[in-house]
Chain A
Amino acid sequence: MSNVGALNAAAASFDAVARDAVGPRGARPRKTFSRRNVFLYGALALAALYYLLPLYVMVVTSLKGMPEIRLGNIFSPPVEITFEPWAKAWATACTGLNCDGLSRGFWNSVRITVPSVIASIAVASVNGYALANWRFKGADTFFTILIVGAFIPYQVMIYPLVIVLREIGLYGSLWGLVIVHSIFGMPILTLLFRNYFASVPEELFKAARVDGAGFWGIYFKIMMPMSLPIFVVAVIIQVTGIWNDFLFGVIYTRPESYPMTVQLNNIVNTTMGVKEYNVNMAATILTGLVPLVIYFLSGKLFVRGIAAGAVKG
């Protein structure tokens, strides 16, 4: 439960920041309360409120009991803090016939995310390396197709992929989903790695060639060790992307191995019985926790990752 505490602390400190920002009283030399500053920080604080409110509501709701929720409003802080909704969301909430909570989805997501991240990054980094350093005839054509393909809606390609996976006997299995994630992660990651490897000084590559190193030798002994930052960025992109995936999870796996997002949606949006809003919100936070933790820990690297993903080469 230390995660909960950490999240609360984070939310509290953000609140504090937002409060401070309304009236900046730091050591700025002149005109601290100028009209410009009041307007500037006022606007920023208002915007921050819009972004923080849902997080606050989530946390607060998940710590209340159901009677309190029915009586109060969603913004009031809990009178009696209870962690029961969290326990229920994790261990006993029901989807269909299964009543073992989100924990099942969590471990499914871990089992999906870890191999998918490794596979997609391995494939894409080698692609990028071949494209940057070992150009062969036609390589750029395939790369162009890949980049254009990144804009094709997934809906156009999901059914042919179902057929391909069924033909090779992987439809519905975890490895099928790993392949799917590797395929759809490929355009952006290949671009990322290609651009990074292209910026590595060519003399280094040539020197290694003179010393007799081959394709794989240069990759493992020179390129990989030199490119740790870009590998970290790729891991951040992929872990959050794959963890947050819903569409591929629901199409390419069977119900017993649904990832966390799919199971969360099933728990919250099944209409049977009385809605337990506190359990729903606890489950929602639990699902968002992994990418949130990555986001807060990685800080600037996360920004760099999405900037790299957004800006074309």
Chain B
Amino acid sequence: MPSARSGRPSPLSRNLAAKIASIPMILTALVVFVGGTAWTVLYSFTDSKLLPRLRFVGLEQYERLWAAPRWLVAVENLAVYGALSLVFSLVVGFLLAALLDQKIRFEDAFRTIFLYPFALSFIVTGLVWQWVLNPDFGLQGIVRSLGWESFSFDPLYNPDIVIYGILIAGLWQGTGLVMCLMLAGLRGIDEDIWKAARVDGIPTWKTYLLIVIPMMRPVFVTTLVLIASGIVRLYDLVVAQTSGGPGIASEVPAKYVYDYMFLAQNLGQGFAASTMMLLTVAIIVVPWAYLEFGGRRRV
């Protein structure tokens, strides 16, 4: 029987069962996460078309990528969606959590309502909002039928604002989660702090702004990283709601990657685009990981 700490057999057979049991984890970490990532980055410098092949062309794929109007639209969309989604998720999520934290009645019911969209898939979310935003029967049609004939709000058919239509759906699905995290953060704040602020006569909004929010920094940072890494993956929602349309107005990077890898059979472009996605995530995650973990170790 393999054993952990009893006796001193050879180093390899120590903890043998644990090592064998960890083989799936080791394979996943090394082959898929490290190997797969390195493979994709490496092949992004080749001219792979239908099949991957190692004929290096330097940065040609990247030059082509950044010259492609579709990619530029995708990046711009992601930037707009990402910035607005971050701000609105945090603000709305925090406000909802703060409202729920006022010792109100029906708290559970409200929380259930705010969070249920999070259980639904992006496909379902996208299709529902496609219907709600339908220009003939949906919101626009209703406002018009109420007498405001010139009212116009058809994000899904107007290239200029289509990304906001997707944003509305994305926020509907995701703010519940942010609210939940924020509520947990608010509940973690010591009651005495509220009492002290009240004794000092500080108004509630000021207590939130100057005392509570700074104290919740870790929650905000975690939420931020979570939302941000989710935003980069934005794909299903767009596929379901607009399929990237009208035209290419609502393309996003993840869709660009999929389309080039599996539909256009231009693997090199797909690899280059996905490497750019990786770079984006690295720019977000590395400083955070450094601050959170690197910093703590040094102190």
Contact with B along A148-179 (1 / 0, CB 8 A): 11011111111111011000000000000000
A243: Cβ under 8 A from any B Cβ: yes
Tell me the complex Cα distance, A50–B95, Å.
15
Q: How far is the CB of A275 from chain B (nearest CB, A)?
A: 9
**Quick check: B254 and A153 within 8 Å, CB to CB?**
yes
**Quick check: A157 and B36 within 8 Å, CB to CB?**
yes
Which of B127, B261, B270, B289: most chain A CB closer than 10 A? B127
**Quick check: A61 and B121 within 8 Å, CB to CB?**
no
Cβ-neighbour of A215 out of B18, B31, B39, B145 (below 8 A): B18
With contact pairs A54-B132, A127-B22, A284-B127 given, residues A74 and B138 touching in the complex (Cβ less than 8 Å): yes
Cβ-neighbour of A281 out of B41, B131, B177 (below 8 A): B131
Cβ-neighbour of B131 out of A142, A277, A303, A307 (below 8 A): A277
**Quick check: A164 and B31 within 8 Å, CB to CB?**
yes
B205: Cβ under 8 A from any A Cβ: no
A112: Cβ under 8 A from any B Cβ: no
**Quick check: B129 and A54 within 8 Å, CB to CB?**
yes
B202: Cβ under 8 A from any A Cβ: no
B122: Cβ under 8 A from any A Cβ: yes
Residues of B81-117 contacting chain A, CB below 8 A: 95-96, 99-100, 102, 104-106, 109-117
With contact pairs A14-B113, A123-B24 given, residues A153 and B278 touching in the complex (Cβ less than 8 Å): yes
Cβ-neighbour of A158 out of B28, B223, B261 (below 8 A): B261
Which chain A residue shows the least CB distance to B277?
A153
**Quick check: B99 and A43 within 8 Å, CB to CB?**
yes
**Quick check: B142 and A160 within 8 Å, CB to CB?**
no
A247 contact set on B, CB distance < 8 A: 235-236, 258
With contact pairs A156-B277, A157-B37 given, residues A48 and B114 touching in the complex (Cβ less than 8 Å): yes
A257: Cβ under 8 A from any B Cβ: no
With contact pairs A159-B271, A291-B120 given, residues A246 and B31 touching in the complex (Cβ less than 8 Å): no
Tell me the complex Cα distance, A163–B22, Å.
23
Tell me the complex Cα distance, A270–B181, Å.
38
A182: Cβ under 8 A from any B Cβ: yes
Contact with B along A60-85 (1 / 0, CB 8 A): 01000000011001110000000000
Tell me the complex Cα distance, A251–B232, Å.
19
A302 contact set on B, CB distance < 8 A: 115, 119
**Quick check: B22 and A51 within 8 Å, CB to CB?**
no
Tell me the complex Cα distance, A17–B113, Å.
10
Q: How many A-B residue pairs have CB under 8 A?
A: 280
**Quick check: A130 and B22 within 8 Å, CB to CB?**
yes
**Quick check: A310 and B181 within 8 Å, CB to CB?**
yes
Number of interface residues of A (CB under 8 A): 97
Tell me the complex Cα distance, A161–B232, Å.
20
Which chain A residue shows the least CB distance to B256?
A155
A296: Cβ under 8 A from any B Cβ: yes
Cβ-neighbour of A145 out of B33, B109, B119 (below 8 A): B33
**Quick check: A246 and B114 within 8 Å, CB to CB?**
no
B residues touching A (Cβ–Cβ < 8 Å)?
Answer: 1-6, 14-15, 17-19, 21-22, 24-26, 28-37, 39-41, 52, 95-96, 99-100, 102, 104-106, 109-124, 127-132, 134, 137-138, 141-142, 145, 172, 176-177, 180-181, 184, 222-223, 225-226, 229, 232-233, 235-236, 239-240, 243, 253-254, 257-258, 261-262, 267, 270-271, 273-275, 277-278, 281, 285, 289
A-B contact pairs, 14 of them (CB 8 A): A40-B104, A47-B99, A47-B114, A54-B172, A123-B24, A157-B33, A159-B261, A246-B240, A261-B236, A277-B134, A280-B127, A295-B116, A303-B180, A310-B222
- Could you list 11 further interchain pairs (A-B, Cβ under 8 angstroms) beyond the known A153-B232, A244-B124, A246-B240? A44-B110, A51-B117, A54-B172, A58-B131, A74-B138, A127-B21, A142-B22, A153-B281, A159-B267, A163-B52, A209-B3
A residues touching B (Cβ–Cβ < 8 Å)?
Answer: 14, 17-18, 20-21, 24, 26, 28, 40-41, 43-44, 47-48, 50-55, 57-58, 61, 69-70, 73-75, 123, 126-127, 129-131, 134-136, 139, 142-143, 145-146, 148-149, 151-161, 163-164, 182-183, 186, 190, 209, 214-216, 240, 243-247, 251, 261-262, 264-265, 268-269, 277, 280-281, 284, 287-288, 291-292, 294-296, 299, 302-303, 306-307, 310-312
